[in-house]
Amino acid sequence: MAQQLHFLMIPLMSQSHIIPLTDFAKSLARRGALVSIVTTPLNAKRYNPTLASSPRIHLIPLHFPCREAGLPDGCENLDSLNSLDLARQFFHACRLLKSPLHDLIRRLHPSPNCIISTSAISWTQDLADSFRIPRYVFETVSSFTLHCSRKISHLVDSVSFDSELFQVPQIPHSVEFSRNQLPRIRTRLPTPDPAPPRGTLVNTFQELEPWYLNACMEERGSVWSVGPVSLSNRGASERFSRGNEASIDEHYCLKWLDSMERDSVVYACFGSLCTLSIEQITEIGLGLEESNSPFIWVIRKQEKSCGEVEEWLAAEGFEERVRGRGVVVQGWAPQVMILAHPSVGGFLTHCGWNSTLEGVAAGVPMIAWPMFAEQFYNEKMVVDVLGIGVRVGVESCADKQGLVRRERVRSAVVELMGERGMRERAEALARAATDAFEDGGSSFLNVTLFIEDVVRANAEMAVNVLESY
């Protein structure tokens, strides 16, 4: 059945959207489907290596209109922006892709049977309607986030001040938020797509958040949990090259991890968009050092602070001081491969949903350090709902956060690494994730149901076309 289908994927040009959609493409390709992913020239260079073993998946690069939208040349991915203040221009550039995408779809052969796009680019519904093919939304956040954001949308304006806590009503867990912990721009709260998609795909699995997934089904109708899609990367080379070219040698990384005791290493990484000051970066490094746990610490290559970080590392003699116990990666790290290694026992994370779910799939408990977007939702899910993490202690989004001192970083690491019960719960969830994704599991069956719906939708639309004549 899938062998006859052509899926067209249109992600927002951001790592947090492109990576999970590319992973999901691998799941469809393994069923024999043909998958085309719309991208840009620079993003195509990033992702081509990850698809070398997937001949049924094709990247289609389109010119990204940077200049037309007021962006510097080369800003083809959200993580390439010097400042998130340019996000408005970036989203405008994405909307300018609508006309060239229309021309692209008209020329595609075979014609696509559906469009799968992320919720941030709901204008792709117009394209689907114009070609009379179904569109499905791929959500890059959890069911917990989707449901809770809807539940609190009418409460946000009723609180007296930004730090006042309010309870999420009518859910089975005790969860509180403040306005400081929500996205800065209210309209960016995850809400049901304003356009009428055929259905919704969520990168989660039934056993992780059953109540919240069922609630989303009641609210949206056709919802399929198809994750964790990171588990589609089965080979070592796939896990190593996923997302970008790694800034560390694979063999050195594995050899170093192999030399460490089981569950002893802390992996610290804050994603592709989080911007940290040099003061905060130094506090993180010194806190990791003082924790006495072995660690791999990933520092994003930020244009503003990259030179300062290198100067600090050299002046402090940090890498020499932690040699043998700590590894510093400046750039991109093979996160899925690292988290899957038996020696990794803790994950210091910004709580992006991709990273959170990758930690769950690997059975690694987490230190939650949310910064923006929906990351406080994920912190509360990890700590309050799943019980597989501890808070570093921030209470507001990054633009209002104070400096987290090394003492707090150290104490959070010590707390997490000494918690056996938390690790056992994380490992149980990892087994459930694997079972869900394997043949016959809940996510595997949901992919089948989704494919069947695409076939059904195309048949219905063919009948409608015939009846219109």
Q: What is the DSSP string of 112-181?
A: PSEEEEEGGGTTHHHHHHHTT--EEEEESS-HHHHHHHHHHTTTGGGSSSTT--EEPPSSSS--EE-GGG
Q: Which of 21-25, 145-149, 244-248, 315-319 comes out lowest in average pLDDT?
A: 244-248
Residue 305 within any structural domain of the chain:
yes
Instruction: Indicate if the pLDDT at residue 190 is higher than 60.
Output: no
Q: Do 354 and 256 belong to one domain?
A: yes
Q: Do 154 and 259 belong to one domain?
A: no
**312: alpha, beta or left? (left if phi > 0; alpha if psi -120 to 50):** alpha
Question: Is pTM beyond 0.85 here?
Answer: yes
Q: Do 278 and 425 belong to one domain?
A: yes
Compare 400 and 219 and report the one with higher pLDDT.
219
ω into residue 11 within 30 of 0, thus cis?
Answer: no
Q: Do 163 and 268 belong to one domain?
A: no
Domain CATH code at residue 316: 3.40.50.2000
Specify the number of domains making up the chain: 2
Residue 208 within any structural domain of the chain:
yes
Tell me the backbone φ, ψ of residue 438, rounded to 5 degrees. -75, 170
Residue 33 within any structural domain of the chain:
yes
Rounded-to-integer distance, Cα 156 and Cα 160, Å: 9
Q: Yes or no: say if 226 and 16 are a contact pair by the CB < 8 Å rule.
A: no
The pLDDT confidence band at residue 402, using thresholds 50, 70 and 90, is confident
Q: Do 123 and 47 belong to one domain?
A: yes
Q: Average per-residue pLDDT in the chain?
A: 91
The pLDDT confidence band at residue 189, using thresholds 50, 70 and 90, is very low
For the segment 20-48, the average pLDDT, to the nearest whole number, is: 94
Q: Which of 52-56, 195-199, 304-308, 359-363 comes out lowest in average pLDDT?
A: 304-308
Q: Do 208 and 304 belong to one domain?
A: no
Q: Which of 22-26, 183-187, 332-336, 382-386 comes out lowest in average pLDDT?
A: 183-187
The pLDDT of residue 194: 57
Q: Do 266 and 149 belong to one domain?
A: no
Q: Are strands 176-177 and 199-202 parallel, antiparallel or unpaired?
A: unpaired
Q: Do 19 and 139 belong to one domain?
A: yes
**H or E stretch at 277:** none
The pLDDT confidence band at residue 362, using thresholds 50, 70 and 90, is very high
Rounded-to-integer distance, Cα 41 and Cα 51, Å: 15
Buried b (16+ CB within 10 A) or exposed e, 36-69: bbbbbebbbebbeebbeebebbebbbbebbbeeb
Residue 403 within any structural domain of the chain:
yes
- In the chain, the percentage of residues whose pLDDT exceeds 90 is 76
- In the chain, the percentage of residues whose pLDDT exceeds 70 is 92
Q: How many CB atoms lie within 10 A of CB 460?
A: 12
Q: Domain range for residue 302?
A: 245-431
Residue 237 within any structural domain of the chain:
no
Q: Do 291 and 372 belong to one domain?
A: yes
The pLDDT of residue 239: 64
Rounded-to-integer distance, Cα 107 and Cα 114, Å: 15
The full DSSP string for 446-457 is HHHHHHHHHHHH
The pLDDT of residue 303: 43
Distance, first Cα to last Cα, the chain: 28
Q: Do 274 and 207 belong to one domain?
A: no
Q: Specify the length of the chain in residues.
A: 469
The pLDDT confidence band at residue 247, using thresholds 50, 70 and 90, is low
Q: Which of 42-51, 249-258, 327-336, 457-466 comes out lowest in average pLDDT?
A: 457-466
Non-local CB neighbours of 127 within 8 Å, separated by 6+ positions: 98, 101, 102, 105, 115, 135
Instruction: Indicate if the pLDDT at residue 47 is higher than 90.
Output: no
Both tokens of 464, joined, read 């409608």
Q: How many CB atoms lie within 10 A of CB 441?
A: 18
Instruction: Indicate if the pLDDT at residue 8 is higher than 60.
Output: yes
Residue 413 within any structural domain of the chain:
yes
Rounded-to-integer distance, Cα 78 and Cα 84, Å: 8
Residue 187 within any structural domain of the chain:
no
The pLDDT of residue 160: 83
The pLDDT of residue 117: 97
Give the 3-state secondary structure of residue 200. Answer: strand
For the segment 345-369, the average pLDDT, to the nearest whole number, is: 98
Rounded-to-integer distance, Cα 412 and Cα 422, Å: 14
The pLDDT confidence band at residue 304, using thresholds 50, 70 and 90, is very low
Q: Do 423 and 450 belong to one domain?
A: no
* Residue whose tokens read 């992919």: 447
Q: How many CB atoms lie within 10 A of CB 254?
A: 16
The pLDDT confidence band at residue 161, using thresholds 50, 70 and 90, is confident
Compare 186 and 84 and report the one with higher pLDDT.
84
Q: Which of 88-97, 157-166, 375-384 comes out lowest in average pLDDT?
A: 157-166
* Residue whose tokens read 């400046």: 330
Angstrom CA distances, 61 to 18, 47, 64, 101, stand at 13, 11, 9, 10
Residue 83 within any structural domain of the chain:
no
251-262 confidence digits (pLDDT tens): 889 999 999 999
Tell me the backbone φ, ψ of residue 414, rounded to 5 degrees. -60, -45
Q: Do 425 and 453 belong to one domain?
A: no
Instruction: Indicate if the pLDDT at residue 188 is higher than 50.
Output: no
Q: Yes or no: say if 29 and 37 are a contact pair by the CB < 8 Å rule.
A: no
